[in-house]
Amino acid sequence: MTILQAIILGVLQGLTEFLPVSSSGHLVLVPWLLNWQSPGLTFDTTVHLGTLVAVVIYFWKDIWQIVIGVLKTLRDRNFDDPHGKLGWLLVVGAIPAAVAGVLFNDLFESLFSKPLYVTIFLFVTGAILVISEKIAHRVRELDSVGWKDSLLIGIAQIFAIAPGISRSGSTIAAGLALGIKREAAARFSFLLALPIIFGAGMLQLKHALAAGLSGSDTTLLAVGFLAAAISGYAAIHYFLQYVRRHNLYIFAAYVWVFGLLALAMTFFK
């Protein structure tokens, strides 16, 4: 991998992690379509950590309030603090995907080497976005999210472990189906990314350090990390502005067109 490729893939990860178009699907299909060497799980993990930094920086005030709120709930032994309750809701929402990731890790990892399956999952992502818009009522704010909502959104996140199924797309779609407004569903989805990306990142980082990294590898990882962090921050800002007034159909159309392109290329490769 060259530095230019690392930058492109980092930017791609940062943008597609928060736009509902599947970052993992793009990191599989783009190198495959361009005949680039696969970046590998270590690079994939590193750029995901870059997007984690983007979330932390963008939502640092919310995160600080959540941390203080959670400490208050532990001290007072109740959920009267709304920020503390939100913190525990995020924990509940993260549990389903964390358990599924541990139990079915080998299955999900095997899908990263199968572009055809990734392409099919892109079509699924588009369908999820369209259906969620069709059935959505969008009347609830973020403070109305409860334990059942968090669990159901967390279950939707399980499917996004497979490359091609958008994590933000599946969780936002679940929120819309539960009647939550687009921007509120997006904010919950982005905050829910924190424990998932952090947990998966730490696990893969452990494996990467055990395998050892060369100096050139470290440079590529650093470049990809920075590119993902910067583009991820921009994507969060743009998307939250966009969903205040617009639906998700354009993203469904995009993943379907991209999926058709990738599907057509399977017959020529």
Give per-residue pLDDT as tens, 207-240: 666 666 555 578 888 999 999 999 999 999 999 9
Contact 195, 70 (CB under 8 A): no
Residue 40: CA count within 13 A, CB half-sphere? 13
| CB 59, CB 191: distance < 8 Å | yes
pTM of the shown model: 0.89
pLDDT at 131: 95
Please report the pLDDT score of residue 110 as a whole number. 74
CA angle (210, 215, 219) in 5-degree steps: 105
How does pLDDT run across 83-128, given as a tens digit for each residue?
A: 999 999 999 999 998 888 878 777 777 777 788 889 999 999 999 9
Picking from 249, 263, 267, the residue whose alpha carbon sits closest to that of residue 25 is: 263
